[in-house]
């Protein structure tokens, strides 16, 4: 497994100058400097959300540490709508440190695209439907992350078997497959469907570098696909989590008052911010300590994960499986 695999040439690897068409999905609380740099050094593109650090200054220090650990491309996720009050400051920091790849979620990425392109960086945007994918393509982004059914966090509604080739028939930019991918055979399948790369999140939760507690990692390693449920109680929109006793007790939907407030034009913006902050606090507490309020984000790929490994070994295994599957065709 330690044997270096051949480079896989796709539009994505050419664009980012990386060896393998793999992004380690930016995950709240999970992705830290070691995870990002390890995946990048292994040949993929390590990713992290800017909000994994409490302030923009701490985020900037983290970027410096990543750059000290790797000279390879890496990615930062920015939430660009109004629930993120730091978006401008964090974007300034990305520009200052010349982050190679910025992945946007939610909102309008126009300003991010313009500023990141100013220094030669690339911008990919999370999408769950064609309408938004066409919009961000028109704005000039370099690619989209096709977030499909089975993904961790805010999963899309469409099967990747449909969503990836559907987007490829409509878009001129790169498409990255995301949702339930945890093996090299699945990477090959995604590329056959037309994807230029894959984004893998949950597999990297069960890594030695991931910045979360052992209970969370073991839960990923021992869960099955039907242990993953969609809850609206994290941010007001459906998010994939492991169905822990706490999740079962709390239920998967919002209470009637919250539903009313989210539908009202005057209150829905503030309700989304409040619900997101409550959800993030629950995720943060459960990620680092034992608590009865256990909220663990993960995707359906948990059923294919049965060990905790260093990121280098995860990438090595993924590519070994990829080439074995490809050579068997």
Domain edges within the chain: 11-211+304-328, 224-297
Sequence-separated contacts (24+) of 56-61 with Cβ below 8 Å:
56/86, 56/89, 56/90, 56/92, 56/93, 59/90, 59/93, 60/93, 60/96, 60/97
The dihedral through the CA atoms of 73, 74, 80, 86 has a sign that is negative
Phi, psi for 24 (deg, rounded to 5): -80, 110
Number of residues in the chain = 329
pTM score, whole prediction = 0.88
Distance between CA atoms of residues 221 and 314, nearest Å: 14
- Tell me the helices (H) and strands (E) count for the chain, helix number first: 14, 10
Residue with the bigger pLDDT between 282 and 145: it is 145
pLDDT value for 277: 53
pLDDT band with cut points at 50, 70 and 90 for residue 91: very high
pLDDT value for 4: 75
Topology (CATH level 3) of domain 11-211+304-328: TIM Barrel (3.20.20)
pLDDT band with cut points at 50, 70 and 90 for residue 287: very low
Question: Who's near 200: CB < 8 A, 6+ residues apart?
Answer: 22, 23, 24, 25, 178, 181, 182, 301, 318
pLDDT value for 2: 55
Q: Do 185 and 234 touch, CB atoms closer than 8 A?
A: no
| CA 154 distance to own-chain centroid | 9
Query: How many C-beta neighbours within 10 Å does residue 131 have?
Result: 8
């Amino acid at each position: 497994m330690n044997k270096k695999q051949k480079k896989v040439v796709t539009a994505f690897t050419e664009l980012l100058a990386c060896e393998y068409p793999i992004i380690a999905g930016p995950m709240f609380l999970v992705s830290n400097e070691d995870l990002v740099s390890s995946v990048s050094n292994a040949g993929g593109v390590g990713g992290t959300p800017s909000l994994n650090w409490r302030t923009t200054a701490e985020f900037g220090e983290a970027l410096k540490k990543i750059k000290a650990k790797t000279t390879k491309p890496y990615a930062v996720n920015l939430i660009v709508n109004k629930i993120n009050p730091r978006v401008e400051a964090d974007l300034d920091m990305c520009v200052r440190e010349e982050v190679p790849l910025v992945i946007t979620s939610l909102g309008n990425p126009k300003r991010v695209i313009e500023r990141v392109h100013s220094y030669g960086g690339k911008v990919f945007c999370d999408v769950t439907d064609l309408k938004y994918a066409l919009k961000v393509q028109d704005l000039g982004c370099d690619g989209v992350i096709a977030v499909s059914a089975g993904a961790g966090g805010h999963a899309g509604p469409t099967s990747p078997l449909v969503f990836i080739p559907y987007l490829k028939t409509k878009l001129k930019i790169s498409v990255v497959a995301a949702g339930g991918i945890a093996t090299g055979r699945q990477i090959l399948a995604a590329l056959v469907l037309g994807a230029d790369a894959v984004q893998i999140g949950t597999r990297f939760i069960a890594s030695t570098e991931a910045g979360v507690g052992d209970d969370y990692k073991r839960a990923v390693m021992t869960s099955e696909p039907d242990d993953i449920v969609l809850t609206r109680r994290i941010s007001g929109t459906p998010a994939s989590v492991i169905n822990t006793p706490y999740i079962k007790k709390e239920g998967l939907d919002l209470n009637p008052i919250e539903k009313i407030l989210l539908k009202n034009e005057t209150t829905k913006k503030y309700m989304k911010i409040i619900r997101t902050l409550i959800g993030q606090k629950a995720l943060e507490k459960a990620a680092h300590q034992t608590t009865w309020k256990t909220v663990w984000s993960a995707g359906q790929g948990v059923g294919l994960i049965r060990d905790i490994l260093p990121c280098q070994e995860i990438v090595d295994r993924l590519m070994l499986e990829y080439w074995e599957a490809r050579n068997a065709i």
